[in-house]
Structure 1
Amino acid sequence: MAEKRVTPRRTTADARGDVVVLLIGMRINRFRAVHQWLPVMLAMFRMLADLKKEPERGLLSRVLLTASPRTYYVVQYWESKEKLYAYASAPDAFHHRAWARINRLERAGKVRGHVGIWHETYVVPEGGYEAVYGDMPAFGLAAAHGEVPLERRGRYAKERFAWRS
């Protein structure tokens, strides 16, 4: 994988309008139950790969994170909540097949709590977010929406919030 180019200055995200953020992840409740949690992890990677191949679905950027040796999650930035909802319910998307399988397993009593899954969705209105990056490649919100020199939006967070409201 090619190294991302570092921007040798302070920048901010060039997001405009509402920002849609999805946090989605899994928690391994029993490490020895690999047959339960590994398919969930692989499905998460498969969905991200499919979304990368189909940018029209609306995923702008994502960041993979680890909260602990048990908990893994993805911060996703979406074009709109409508595109996020459309992907979540699209019958042709892998997400739909994965959830159908999980639901069948739950109904059959075959899901035993070995792996937890979760998500949180935020629609942040313009004026409700700000960002600053120092000597970083485009990351997070800036990777999703582009970056601009910090001075264009204000040196302090208060100024950046005011610019957006």
Structure 2
Amino acid sequence: MAGGLLALAMALTLAGTAASPAVAAETLEAAVKATFLYKFIAFVSWPDSAFPDPSSPFVLCVEGPDPFGELLDRAVAGQSAAGRPITLWRAPRFEAGSGCHLLYSRSSPGRLRGAPVLTVTDGDSAVDTGAGAVVTFVLRDDRVRFIIDAAAAQDNHLTISSKLMSLAVAVRR
């Protein structure tokens, strides 16, 4: 887990080093978010009931327009967490029971409240709550940061490590 924490800290640092052109900044932002997505898995505990069997993979889902493309494919290639391989799914929409353990969506993921899914979305500002998401990405000082909604995590039967919470710019309780 120490390696995962170091990678998250490095992603926070790198997020502020983008070249000035907008395209380079968007690419770096997407790369940092892609890294965060799969690294979050190591810092969250799901109930056993979230997996069909002990060898089931973690399923990372991207809903709707995919801002990551190959960046996320490369980030998760060959990765595992807690002995489970990480699998990537993309679709226009996912519902509760679809098998996702982590869902990134630009639309409101609040409809999955109560399902054991780590929902992640983008926010417009550092005070944006992400419309029911457990984790909301925000830009602060040109760096990708995140807000954690601890109540949403609890509603989704997820336990988020104190290490991950300490890296968040805010934790909503």
TM-score bucket of the superposed structures, by smaller chain: under 0.3
Q: Structure 1 length normalisation: TM-score?
A: 0.28
Q: Which has the higher strand share?
A: 1
**Bigger radius of gyration, 1 or 2?**
1
| Bigger relative contact order (CA 8 A; separation at least 6) | 1
